[in-house]
Amino acid sequence: MADVVIPQVPDVDIDPKGVFKYILIKLTVPNTDGKLEEKNIVRGYASCPYHSDINDKVTEELQNLKSSKVIRDWRSKVLGGGRINHDSNAKDLKVYGYSQGYGKADHQVAVDILKKKYCDYNVTWSDEGSVERQLRPLVIHVTTLVKSETPRKKKGKLKSMDAIVLVTAVERAIKNFIEKGEQIANENPDFSKEMLAAVEEVRTTGNAMSVASREFAQSPCDSQKRNEMVKAARNLLSAVTRLLILADMIDVQLLLKSIQVVEDNLENVRNAKNPDELAQHLKLYNRNARELLTQAGRRQQELTDPRTRDDLAAARAVLKTSHTMLLTASRAYLAHPDVPAAKDNRDRVLKQVCEAVSTINDVAQGRTPKLGSGIPEGPGKLATSFDKFDTKGGLNYNEVRTKAKLQQQLEELINGAILISEADNIKDERKQRIVDGCNAVREALQGLLTHSMKTAGGTNKEVDRAMDTMTRKTRDLRRQLRKALTDRISDSFLGPNTPLLAMVKAAESGNAQEVETCATAFNEHCKKLFEVANQVCEMSNNEDGIKMVRYAAAQLENLRPGVISAAKLLAVQPHSSAAKKNMEVFQQQWESQMQLLLDAVDDITTVDDVLSVLENNVFDDINQYLTALQEHDPAMLSRIRDSIQGRSNRICDVVTAEMDNFEPCTYTKRVLEAIKVLNEEIIPEFNKKTEMVVQDLVKTPNKEIDENEFIDATRLVYDGVREVRRAVLLNRADEDLDPEEVELEHNYVATNTLVKSIVQTNEITREENSEEMSGITVVREAMSKLPEEKKHKIMEQVEKFQDEKLTFDREVDKWDDHGNDIVALAKYMCIIMMQMTDFIRQRGPLKSTADVIHAAKNISTAGTKLDKLTRQIAEQCPESSSKKDLLAYIERVALYSHQINIIAKVKADVQNTNEDLIVASVESATSLIENAKNLMNAVVLTVKASYVASTKYSRQATSSTLVVWKMKAPKKKPLVRLEKPTEVRAIVRKASQKKPQNPVKVLSEFHTSIEIV
């Protein structure tokens, strides 16, 4: 900037000599024509211990100029800060360093401004502002000099290093280190004596090191001189270590002084008698608290103990977020000192802040802090029990030790599972599934122990099968527990601030009795939230995520009494602006902390479980919605509408956050598109229709309503939610998906009224109402009425089919289907059989009986082609057992294909009673799954026999190969290992980063420990 701009304000104003802090400010002032002019100015004073003090002084300077009408107005912005070393005798100005609060200034700009005033000075700037940067070359050069051996090169001419150059570099590093140490001593007079003594020791040992290294450089083969140099180097590094220790002590003392200042400020705030005195003390507290936060933040980075580091981070968070609450609570107390709730509210905030300061004090002095000491560490106990049980199950069997240990761990696991199942809002159906899962695991363990005893520690197929069964049952139980907890999360965190809003509303109306009632409900709600959060932690292995959940819950628990006190104060003084502002601040803080807790809980729960549970909850809400519609209940319609809206919003939020962990691709695009349709099209239309019918029912309670229209709207909502979940699950591996989806199938089936209404509304002319209706088509209606044993019967058939599918994948999928029509047809038939089985379980692309019949025809057609092709192979094969086996397997394929075709077309045996309907449905479903399993087994055997018949026997020269048997090439792997989804999520964990600690970081950070705002 030209110095003619804003001439009334000097470009530079710094002390005539010494070392002091400075700031670079951008100043904007209107001229006489009203046009704005700008320029940068430099200000630096030794009398200002903080950069913020310099800014305050500049503000006072400009305000005086405005008051005297030298300038009309002004606006300033601090561009950064640093330090100035002003040596007036040597006419030298050196700019370096940075400000912790304002950041680093552009030193080159500052130098250009200084040169205009100090034309005959040597004005320079340096970016080397830390002792660590000076120490690093020293350590490198010293360790290079004392290196006893140098690996010889196998080839080429040997070259010796220039020892004199290394010695010179060491001497230069020692000199720079001493200069920085003296600078620290000059900046801290209280510790100057000890610091200068340590610096002098470094100088002495450095000189000895210089002499010894030069002598060794002259005689590198003299072992005595080498030993002397090694001894000198060790003395030098010992002196440096002592200096580092002293620097750390100085840093701690400065931190303790800041703590004492903040504690004094808090005491003054507590004892303030009027608003003006309170404002003055709070201003001092805010400035000193910012300084303390900065120093504590640097100390946090230097700590090596993760627990202490996290405790310090939590204390800093309390100190940072409690400022506004302390302000409003103190003002409310001064406005209403006779109200007990006002004093209680203020005292609780002060206590919380004092505890945070006390934690920082404890950490600084190496003591175990009280804050957070009661929060358990490590993974959840129940998750650990599952992991131990899975691990022990794979150990070599010992009848005494292994059996007792496994049974003990199983009981611990079951006790934890039962504890979760006995929670208040766990549904009876879910409880029963957890109990059944526990019994299934117990039976699987007993089976494993029985087979292991028979083999006496050996291995066979029975033991492996029993091991797989136990692993699968354990995984199923774990899944049921996760879903139970996710269900609790969905219920508890749906409108988590509703009790608070009710309490605030009662307080604003001045109803103290209602506030007491709402406070009780609020406490119960909080208790439930903390219980759910704790149980979620027990089922998680994510230690960082668990820690975040527990710290967030602890912060809410500390805040809860203050929120209630603020509400009670407002109830007593509903017209007080101070009480209203105080309640508003506490409410905002509570909602912010609640969102942190919800985010932390989401981090340790899987999006698959959340979507599964929310989908079922939405379906339950839809059934209740239709019931309320039939009963003409507008209040319930509004309440359920809000519930569906909240669950939909939660789905969108959770899935959107999950997609942030992926790179943009087709998968994320499809998921986000499904979210957009649900959030921007389906839900708004549903809300619009609901609002219209609610208004009509309020005006005319007995008004006739077209239920079909609303049934269709609810169906669209459920389909939209389900489509979001399907889109999310597209990139999941088969083993990551729920193999049973029992509750999905169970809950997907609506009541008779809902099914009937949907069919009537959309006038769907399905095959259920035609002459081709089969037993399969009524399974969806029958499943809702099946007793548990019938459901288990179907699921047993599904599990057997899944086992056969694994065999198919192992035996057939290994072949390349290019040039091999047998393998291609087998895979095609497998896909169709999977779709038909999924139709029974409410999954897959088949939606109606017509689809199933068409799929059965496709299987029959593919079976005919497979029969024709394999018979040609059999004809080319000489008479042998292989040919006989192949022909036998071909007959099986034809038989089971024909049976599936018949089952799909047979008419349902629907009689007058519901019992007959259910029996026919179950028999049709189980028959279809069983025949699909048999067909898949026959196809596998046919493929294996075809391979033997094609390759085992020599062929005539004229014979051509019908199929090419070639193993499938392995999947390509990236040259650079891609991050797993779990690793991607771990990147965004809200936890303290564990960085490697440099041994000289303490001293290097000391220089910046006093460069703060």
CA 211/CA 230 separation, integer angstroms: 12
Reduce the DSSP state of residue 561 to 3 states and report it.
helix
Q: Which residues of 452-482 are buried (b: 16+ CB within 10 A; e: fewer)?
A: beeeeeeeeeebeebbebbbbbbbbbbbbbb
Phi, psi of 216 (to 5 degrees): -70, -35
Tokens at 571, concatenated? 């109830």
Q: Which among 825, 795, 754 is positioned nearest to 929, based on CA atoms?
A: 795
Structure tokens at 444: 């699987």
For residues 1006 and 998, what is the distance between their CA atoms, to the nearest angstrom? 14
With the CA atoms of 646, 651, 656 and 662 taken in that order, what torsion angle do they form, in degrees rounded to the nearest 10?
160
C-alpha dist (Å) from residue 935 to 133, 799, 828, 842: 74, 15, 13, 21
What is the rounded distance in angstroms from the CA atom of residue 188 to the CA atom of residue 911?
98
Q: Which residue has the tokens 């087998």?
A: 826
Q: What are the DSSP calls for 222-272, one per residue?
A: -HHHHHHHHHHHHHHHHHHHHHHHHHHHHHHHHHHHHHHHHHHHHHHHHT-
Sequence-ordered list of residues with C-beta below 8 angstroms from that of 809, at least 6 positions apart, any chain = none
Count of alpha carbons within 13 angstroms of residue 883, beta-carbon side = 11
d(CA 808, CA 833): 12
DSSP 483-547: HHHHHHHHHHTSSTTHHHHHHHHHHHTT-HHHHHHHHHHHHHHHHHHHHHHHHHHHT---HHHHH
Radius of gyration, CA atoms only, the chain: 39
Kindly state the tokens that stand for 1013: 């705002």
Integer angstrom CA distances of residue 239 from 216, 219, 260 = 21, 26, 32
Q: Are 607 and 658 in contact (CB under 8 A)?
A: yes
Residue whose pair of structure tokens reads 């809702």 in the numeric block: 784
Alpha carbon 571 to chain centroid, angstroms: 39
- What is the DSSP secondary structure assignment for residue 104, as one 8-state letter? B
Least Cα distance to 42 among 15, 69, 75 occurs for: 15
Nearest to residue 539, comparing CAs of 605, 491, 603, 590? Answer: 605
Residue positions annotated with a catalytic role: 51
* HSE value, Cβ hemisphere, 13 Å, CA-based, for 626: 24
Residue 849 Cα distances to 24, 773, 780, 855, angstroms: 78, 7, 11, 10
Q: Which residues are annotated as a binding site?
A: 21
| Residue 495 · residue 502 · CB < 8 Å | no
* In contact, 908 and 782? CB cutoff 8 Å: no
Residues annotated in a binding site for substrate: 21
Alpha helices for 914-964 (secondary structure H): 914-951
DSSP at 958: T
Give the DSSP H or E segment for 775: none
Burial class (CB in 10 A: 0-12, 13-18, 19+), 980: exposed
Q: How far is CA 838 from CA 487, 798, 831, in A?
A: 25, 9, 10
Pairing state of beta strands 12-14 and 36-45?
Answer: parallel
* Residue pair 88/117 in contact by the 8 Å Cβ criterion: no
Residues 6+ apart with CB under 8 A from 927: 903
